[in-house]
Amino acid sequence: MNPKESTGQGKVAVVTGAGSGIGRAVAVELLRTGWSVGLAGRRAETLEATAALVPGAAGLAVRTDVSDPADVAALFAAVRERFGRLDLLFNNAGTFGPGGVPFEDLPYDAWRHVVDTNLNGAFLCAQAAFRQMKEQEPRGGRIINNGSISAHSPRPLSAPYTATKHALTGLTKSLSLDGRAYGIAVGQIDIGNAATEMTARMETGALQANGEITPEPVMDVTDVARTVRHMAELPLGANVQFATVLATAMPYVGRG
């Protein structure tokens, strides 16, 4: 680690969905700049692999299903026991759900899985973080929810994902108000086409609103990670309420 980059020294974060993609990139960015990080995800081996990318850093891998209240409680208890406090929750765990399924054919179980992961999981983690940040000394902290540009402009055949991301925006706004009295800052980052395993199909072709299949530009996921770290390291008297980071040339502005 470059000593000049030890900007998070003494700070503690929880990153959900830390085993891959955006969650892994953000966890690595925080770890390499001095943060202690609780790494949460469904697969212990991928969490351990994330921690191993920054040898010697303070990463704690905790296998967690964010839709399970008991798992979420155990995650935050483990982080509190290991590190003593919590300064940041990056509420990132999520799933697109089944792709290419017409809305009228969408199985209820598929809808429920997306809602349980993207929305209920975010609620459970935010609630656990909120409680700890309110009770700890010094009080306060920051929650950053991973939204999506689908919270503003949906893709075709994306009802479960888009609905949960709209709901997450409502959760962000509500918690931003509720956290004021306790020094808890809450914001949201809306991301478009970061290059991860989940978005690999964008480069080969994605369904557009006009029915065409068109390749889309992507951006380096480390650019997202640096944006999250910037939001995280602001003093609690300042907050990025909403940030949008996207591949410059992707078909978002004017989509449809």
Query: What is the C-alpha to C-alpha distance for residues 106 and 159, in angstroms, rounded to an integer?
Result: 9
Interhelix angle 159-178/121-135, rounded to 10 degrees, is: 10
Which of 36, 52, 33 minimizes the C-alpha distance to 44?
A: 52
Please work out, in degrees rounded to the nearest 5, the angle formed at the alpha carbon of residue 193 by the alpha carbons of 189 and 195. 105
- What CA dihedral angle connects 101, 118, 166 and 195, to 10 degrees? -70
Is 161 catalytic? The answer is yes
Bond preceding residue 138 cis, omega within 30 of 0: yes
Query: What is the C-alpha to C-alpha distance for residues 5 and 128, in angstroms, rounded to an integer?
Result: 29
What sign results for the dihedral spanned by CA atoms 59, 173, 188, 97?
A: positive
Name the catalytic one among 108, 161, 182, 252: 161
Phi-psi region of 66 (alpha: psi -120 to 50; beta: other; left: phi over 0): alpha
Q: Catalytic positions, please?
A: 161
